């Protein structure tokens, strides 16, 4: 089982008991309006199903983010292209403290080491300044855009697709062959 510990956070795989907290957090449309692949309305059965899939899929990384309680999720899933793809969310009360920057950096660092890929992809809606900033700080660069249907907004949204190379990440944070980039 992969468990990551950062300065303020513990990241551990989802457990069955997380379903209620995940469901409660994803009632907030401020969160879900920025997410692809999240049903609207979102119910406990959606969380239970997501947890089950995460537990049964050893090819991907799924972490619940904890600081005294569950604050959110960060995942790296292999997309249809075969590349690992980063996604995340935090409950509203946890925003604006640099927590996702911390969680995403640790997850990306772990994924580069674990999977051995030289690229990780991600994406952010064009109106998602906070997420775009996080990705840019990690070294992601925009490579294009797609149109995504967002269930909360019930409309199509332009999503900028971004790519991070291992080389760029190491330039920013140090070699992945040492503990420096953790
Ligand atoms: C996106 C999200 C995870 C950010 O989490 P967070 O912990 O608040 O983010 P951080 O504090 O680590 O970093 C946010 C950065 O964006 C910046 N930022 C926030 N709002 C911004 C805005 N409107 N315009 C420009 N920059 C903004 C912050 O200043 C910060 O940059 P800094 O570290 O240089 O100061 C959180 O807002 C969230 O869960 N949103 C809903 C779901 C979502 O958007 N998921 C990502 C889908 S791509």
Ligand 1 centre distance from Cα of residue 99 (Å): 9
Domain that holds residue 153: 4-181
pLDDT tens for 92-135 read 999 999 999 999 999 999 999 999 999 999 999 999 999 999 99
Binning pLDDT at 50, 70 and 90, where does residue 180 land? low
CATH classification of the domain holding 175: 3.40.630.30
Ligand 1 centre distance from Cα of residue 97 (Å): 9
Binning pLDDT at 50, 70 and 90, where does residue 179 land? low
Ligand 1 centre distance from Cα of residue 61 (Å): 21
Q: Output the CA–CA distances (angstroms, integers) from residue 65 to 2, 89, 100, 173, in the order listed.
A: 13, 9, 9, 22
pLDDT tens for 8-39 read 999 999 999 999 999 999 999 999 999 998 99
Which residues line the pocket of ligand 1, CB cutoff 6 A? 31, 34-35, 88-90, 95-101, 124, 128-131, 133-134
Compute the average pLDDT of residues 67-90. 94
Q: Which atom, in ligand 1's list, is nearest to the CA of 34?
A: 44
Tally of domains within the chain: 1
Distance between alpha carbon 98 and the CA centroid of its chain, in Å?
14
Spatial distance between the Cα atoms of 159 and 174, rounded to a whole number of angstroms: 29
Helix (H) or strand (E) holding 161: strand 155-165
pLDDT exceeds 80 at position 146: yes
Binning pLDDT at 50, 70 and 90, where does residue 181 land? low
Ligand 1 centre distance from Cα of residue 92 (Å): 11
> Torsion-angle region of residue 139: left (phi > 0), alpha (psi -120 to 50) or beta?
left
Name the DSSP class of 50: H
- Yes or no: say if 78 and 58 are a contact pair by the CB < 8 Å rule: no
């Amino acid at each position: 089982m992969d468990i990551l510990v950062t300065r303020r956070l513990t990241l551990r795989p989802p457990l069955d008991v997380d379903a209620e907290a995940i469901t409660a957090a994803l009632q907030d449309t401020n969160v879900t309006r920025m997410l692809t692949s999240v049903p609207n309305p979102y119910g406990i059965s959606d969380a239970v199903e997501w947890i089950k899939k995460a537990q049964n899929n050893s090819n991907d990384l799924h972490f619940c983010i904890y600081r005294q309680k569950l604050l959110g999720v960060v995942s790296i899933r292999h997309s249809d292209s075969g590349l690992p793809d980063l996604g995340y969310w935090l409950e509203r009360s946890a925003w604006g403290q640099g927590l996702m920057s911390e969680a995403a950096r640790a997850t990306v660092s772990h994924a580069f080491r674990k999977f051995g890929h030289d690229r990780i992809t991600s994406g952010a809606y064009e109106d998602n300044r906070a997420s775009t900033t996080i990705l840019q700080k990690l070294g992601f660069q925009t490579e294009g855009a797609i149109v995504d249907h967002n269930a909360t907004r019930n409309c199509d949204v332009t999503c900028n697709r971004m790519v991070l190379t291992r080389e760029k990440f190491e330039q920013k944070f140090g070699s992945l062959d040492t503990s420096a980039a953790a």
